[in-house]
Structure 1
Amino acid sequence: MAFLSGFLLIDAPASALNNARDAQDAQYDNEVGVKLIRVGRESSPYVSAQAFRYWLRDTLSQNPEWLAHTAPVFREAKVAYTDANPIKYWDDDLFGYMRAEGKKASAKDSRADDSGRASATELSGSVTRTSPFRVGTLVSLAPTNVVKDFGVMSRTGPNMQEGDPVPHSHQFYRAVFKGQLSLDLGRAGLFTYTGKSGNQNLDEVRRKQAEDAGLEHVEAQKAYRLSRTERIQRIAPLIRGLGELRGGAKQALHYTDVTPAAVLLVVTKGGNNPLQYVVGAGEEGRPRVNTEALKETIRAWKDTFLSPIYVGWTAGFHDGERDKLRAALEELQAEGVSFVLEHPRTVLHHIADDLSSEAGAGWLA
């Protein structure tokens, strides 16, 4: 199977992209904190994988074609789940799901009261699907100081009540986040019924739908598979969506463009992520390209590469490191390594387009 793997960098010059329920080292009762990983006395801000996936889902929802194939969500008391039908819904296919209807009276009452449930796919047993799209927690390249900003709720005007301003405080930071990415291209559009947790994608109802829809039956894998054209139709918007990412907390006070400042991706024969050590922290926590790590990694893993190395690096974002990366990749060209270096959005569109190429035919086998 082929995997599109690598990482992205998000530049957060003065931001609070993912807030915590309880602020660490809070000085005020109503202080809003940011999520932090602590090692000793040092703190590294992070953005949870759940938050990142929410940003991506929200970005994709702006695409009318994707939105038309987004699964509805149903609730039972305190439980929520999607329709869990990857044949019909693109997000159920690529982001995974778990659905098992509750047997308690409260759950049955919730189902009975949900008028929108008429559109739900029937369920003949529990179904689960591990996500073909995987993302790691986005963590600051280096520990950083968290700043506390003091403010007040105070307005002037004839309609304001008299009294003292209400103080509040919130935390923010300056950081560059790095997050790992992986998309299992072979599992996108492939739905199994093995009975194993995470792989019981289809129950009897959904298997019947797969047969009626004319999906290929891959009996050896106990699976049904969409056509290559249909799979590309789903995967391409997801890849392009990474280059148009939007989201993040505290945008009214710390507007931050969360589109990737840099991405490094490659299609490989396995799910390993060989590029993860190419960029780390340099002086004062700034991104640093480790050219020796790049060369060693590529020479060790290039026999598994099925594509060029796709590099997206925004001009103006640490241009010296971009130049170092280009020089190292040009040196490796003499050893048969190919690469693409453009703007991150352009590169991600390039990858999506390559899915339909002759070279991309093997990625979805």
Structure 2
Amino acid sequence: MAFISGTLLIDAPASALNNSGEPIPNARTANTSSVKFIRGKDGTYPYVSGQAQRYWLRNTLEKASGIRWESSPTYRGDKIAFTDANPILYWDDDLLGYMRAPGKKDYENIKNTPELTQQEEDAKGNPRTVTRVSPFRIGTLVSIAPVNITEDFGTMTRTENDPVPYEHQFYRAYMHTLFALDLAMAGTFTYSRRSGFQNLDSVRKELAEEHGLTKRDDLLAYQLPPTDRADRVRSLLLGLGELQGGAKQAIHYTDVSPAIAIFAVVRGGSNPFNYLFAESGGQVSVKLDVLQDAIADLVKHDLLLSPVCIGWKPGFIDEQRPSGDFGVEGAQIYIDTPRSAFAALADYITQNPNLMDE
């Protein structure tokens, strides 16, 4: 199976991208806001959860004017929320997965909602759960080195009364994560009874037939045409290239689009682009020799299925940027800005839709 596998580096110069909801220990005020972090033996590592990054990506794709994206309607109950769970129509249900398992009360509320696809019922009239494992995967975005988390004291002073004090945390960090997209599963919707693979119930199988999807008995699945699947993947890649989001942007504005992104289409789900970043003296370093070794290993074992794309923002540690003679025998390497690099691979996949089933 083919995967888009890659790594992202984000520069967070003075940021609070994902808050914990917990009070700051030993705070001087009652109003506090703390950041999420991992406590290690060598210090604290700020992080952004995968859930938060997926939220950023969804919002980016929904709002981007130049990227086609079909968003699924969402139902919110008292203690539950879910999307329409219709990957045939909605691209986020396809590429980002879902679980629709309403309780009896919520099911009665949505049973005749026209915006939502209906759900198969069992013999007792209860809805059958539909689930889909996300073809797109992203790791925790975490600082590559331990940092000191700063506590900032402020006041709300827009009234004639005494100021209202508050405290919050922020940090300076280079943050790194891995990501992958299972190309075989993009646009392929299974109806196995296994948890995570009951993508389609009988209602959705009928929709698949109506929309002309190919039935794959060998996979217990219905499948969109390769060109349609490639178009959906293209949009997600373009979204990664211009990612927006993050908490406390009003006072700690941070560009969360990648400062560096390295990725390619490879055989197998093992990500070859780990261990490329290090930190020394407060500065990040990119281990280009390790990257060359990783690419050479892909070539040696016939695992590389596309150009290796290196996106690097102009002005970001320019002295480390790979020069024009950077290369590996047997591999095509594309170096540009992150936005252009993601667009280049997006074009490559739409021009070679056979990669979806490589």
Q: 1:245 aligned to 2:246? A: no
Report SS of the residue matched to 1:13: strand
Selected match of 2:116 from 108, 117, 120: 120
One-letter code of the match for 1:299? A
Give % identity: 46
Instruction: Say if 1:244 and 1:345, in contact at 8 Å, map to a contact too.
Output: yes
Report what 1:316 is aligned to. Answer: 315
Report SS of the residue matched to 2:12: strand
Please list the CA deviations of residues 138-179 of structure 1 after superposition, one character each: whole Å capped at 9, or x if unmatched.
001111111111111112xxxx33x32111111111111101
One-letter code of the match for 2:217? E
Instruction: Say if 1:18 and 1:46, in contact at 8 Å, map to a contact too.
Output: yes
Report what 1:13 is aligned to. Answer: 13
Please list the CA deviations of residues 121-142 of structure 1 after superposition, one character each: whole Å capped at 9, or x if unmatched.
1111211000001100100111
Please list the CA deviations of residues 19-41 of structure 1 after superposition, one character each: whole Å capped at 9, or x if unmatched.
11114434132121111100125
Instruction: Say if 1:23 and 1:34, in contact at 8 Å, map to a contact too.
Output: no
Q: Map of 1:1-365 to 2, 5 A cutoff? A: 1-27=1-27, 28-40=29-41, 42-63=43-64, 69-103=70-104, 106-108=105-107, 110-111=109-110, 117-124=113-120, 125-155=128-158, 160-161=159-160, 163-278=161-276, 280-302=277-299, 303-323=302-322, 329-330=326-327, 332=328, 335-358=329-352, 360-365=353-358
- Paired with 1:310 and 1:50, the residues of 2 have a C-alpha distance of 25
Q: Which moved more, 1:39-48 or 1:138-147?
A: 39-48
Deviation of 1:356 (Å): 2.0
Report SS of the residue matched to 1:179: strand
Q: Where do 5+ consecutive residues of structure 1 fail to align?
A: none
Please list the CA deviations of residues 28-60 of structure 1 after superposition, one character each: whole Å capped at 9, or x if unmatched.
321211111001250010011111110110001
One-letter code of the match for 2:56? W
Deviation of 1:364 (Å): 4.0
Instruction: Say if 2:278 and 2:287, in contact at 8 Å, map to a contact too.
Output: no
- Judged with a 3 Å threshold, the aligned counterparts in structure 2 of structure 1 residues 68 and 55 are, in CA distance, closer, same or farther, namely closer
The count of residues paired between Structure 1 and Structure 2 equals 348
- Judged with a 3 Å threshold, the aligned counterparts in structure 2 of structure 1 residues 66 and 348 are, in CA distance, closer, same or farther, namely closer
Deviation of 1:64 (Å): 5.8
One-letter code of the match for 2:198? Q
- Judged with a 3 Å threshold, the aligned counterparts in structure 2 of structure 1 residues 228 and 192 are, in CA distance, closer, same or farther, namely same
- Paired with 1:75 and 1:25, the residues of 2 have a C-alpha distance of 34
- Paired with 2:107 and 2:260, the residues of 1 have a C-alpha distance of 48
- Paired with 1:183 and 1:354, the residues of 2 have a C-alpha distance of 15
One-letter code of the match for 2:351? S
Q: Where do 5+ consecutive residues of structure 2 fail to align?
A: 121-127
- Judged with a 3 Å threshold, the aligned counterparts in structure 2 of structure 1 residues 287 and 171 are, in CA distance, closer, same or farther, namely same
- Paired with 1:192 and 1:86, the residues of 2 have a C-alpha distance of 11
- Paired with 2:243 and 2:46, the residues of 1 have a C-alpha distance of 19
- Judged with a 3 Å threshold, the aligned counterparts in structure 2 of structure 1 residues 108 and 94 are, in CA distance, closer, same or farther, namely closer
One-letter code of the match for 2:347? D
- Judged with a 3 Å threshold, the aligned counterparts in structure 2 of structure 1 residues 246 and 212 are, in CA distance, closer, same or farther, namely same
Please list the CA deviations of residues 87-118 of structure 1 after superposition, one character each: whole Å capped at 9, or x if unmatched.
11111001000112213xx4355437xx8x22
- Paired with 2:264 and 2:14, the residues of 1 have a C-alpha distance of 31
- Paired with 2:297 and 2:70, the residues of 1 have a C-alpha distance of 40
One-letter code of the match for 2:303? T
| TM-score, normalization by structure 1 | 0.90
One-letter code of the match for 1:43? T
The structure with more helix, counted as a fraction of residues: 1
